[in-house]
Chain A
Amino acid sequence: MTPADLHFQADISHWTWTIAWFLWFVGIAGMGSVAYFFVRKAPVAYTILGALIIGLALVFSHLARWWNMPVVMWTMVVNGHFNFGSWMFIGIVVLSIHLVLGVLLAVSHMNFIFDRLKFLGFLRDILVALRESNLFVGLFAFVGFFGVIYSGFLLTQAVGIPLWGSPLIPVLWVLSGSVAAIAVLELMYVMGWVEERVSIFGMKLGLGLDAMKLLAVLAFLHVSVGLGSAGARLGAAEMISGSLAWMTWGGVVFIGILIPMVIAAWMLFAGKSKPLIVVSAVSALAGVLFLRAAVLLAGVWEPLVL
Chain B
Amino acid sequence: MRLRRGQQPTRRLAHIWNEANCTACGACIISCTATNNPEMMYREEKGWKTVTSNIRRIDSATPQGRPTMLLVQCQHCDNAPCVSTCPFGAVYYDDNGQVQLDPRMCAGCKYCVTSCPYNVRWMHPDNGLPKKCMGDACLELVAANQKPACVQACPANARDFGDLNDPSSSVSQTLRTKRSRRLLPNSGAEPKYFIVEES
Taking CB atoms and an 8 Å cut-off, the chain B residues in 175-199 that contact chain A are 183-184, 187-188
A contact residues around B113 at 8 Å (CB)? 9, 12-13, 160
Given contacts A86-B84, A88-B87, contact A305 B60 (CB under 8 A): yes
Contact among A65, A81, A85, A159 for B107, CB-based, below 8 A: A65
B contact residues around A66 at 8 Å (CB)? 107-108
Given contacts A11-B47, A12-B47, A301-B119, contact A64 B108 (CB under 8 A): yes
A contact residues around B116 at 8 Å (CB)? 160
By the criterion CB–CB under 8 Å, are A79 and B119 in contact? no
Of B48, B102, B105, most buried by chain A (CB within 10 Å of CB) is B105
Interface majority SS (helix, strand, loop, mixed), chain B: loop
By the criterion CB–CB under 8 Å, are B114 and A299 in contact? yes
Given contacts A86-B85, A160-B81, contact A12 B48 (CB under 8 A): yes
A259 to B166, CA, bound (A): 65
By the criterion CB–CB under 8 Å, are A88 and B109 in contact? yes
Given contacts A5-B58, A72-B106, A75-B105, contact A158 B115 (CB under 8 A): yes
Residue on B with the closest CB to A70? Answer: B107
Number of A-B contacts (CB under 8 A): 136
Contact among B89, B104, B119, B123 for A7, CB-based, below 8 A: B119
By the criterion CB–CB under 8 Å, are A88 and B106 in contact? no
By the criterion CB–CB under 8 Å, are B117 and A63 in contact? no
**How close is A292's CB to chain B, nearest CB, in angstroms?**
15
Contact among B61, B88, B121, B183 for A304, CB-based, below 8 A: B183
By the criterion CB–CB under 8 Å, are B86 and A63 in contact? no
B contact residues around A14 at 8 Å (CB)? 110, 123
Residue B156 is within 8 A (CB to CB) of chain A in the complex: no
By the criterion CB–CB under 8 Å, are B72 and A81 in contact? no
Taking CB atoms and an 8 Å cut-off, the chain A residues in 41-93 that contact chain B are 62-66, 68-69, 71-72, 75-76, 79, 81-83, 85-89, 91-92
Contact among B47, B90, B114 for A15, CB-based, below 8 A: B114
Residue on A with the closest CB to B92? Answer: A81
By the criterion CB–CB under 8 Å, are B128 and A65 in contact? yes
**How close is B87's CB to chain A, nearest CB, in angstroms?**
4
By the criterion CB–CB under 8 Å, are B106 and A304 in contact? no
Q: Known contacts A63-B109, A157-B81, A302-B187; can you find 10 more A-B pairs with CB under 8 A?
A: A5-B119, A12-B47, A12-B48, A12-B121, A63-B108, A64-B108, A68-B108, A75-B102, A76-B89, A91-B87
List residues of B whose CB falls within 8 A of some A CB: 46-48, 58-61, 68, 70, 72, 81, 84-90, 102, 104-111, 113-119, 121-123, 127-129, 183-184, 187-188
23 residue pairs bridging A and B, Cβ less than 8 Å apart: A4-B61, A5-B60, A13-B110, A13-B113, A13-B114, A14-B110, A63-B128, A64-B108, A64-B110, A64-B129, A65-B106, A68-B104, A71-B104, A86-B85, A86-B111, A88-B87, A157-B81, A158-B85, A158-B114, A159-B115, A160-B115, A160-B118, A301-B119
List residues of A whose CB falls within 8 A of some B CB: 4-5, 7, 9, 11-15, 62-66, 68-69, 71-72, 75-76, 79, 81-83, 85-89, 91-92, 157-161, 164, 299, 301-302, 304-305
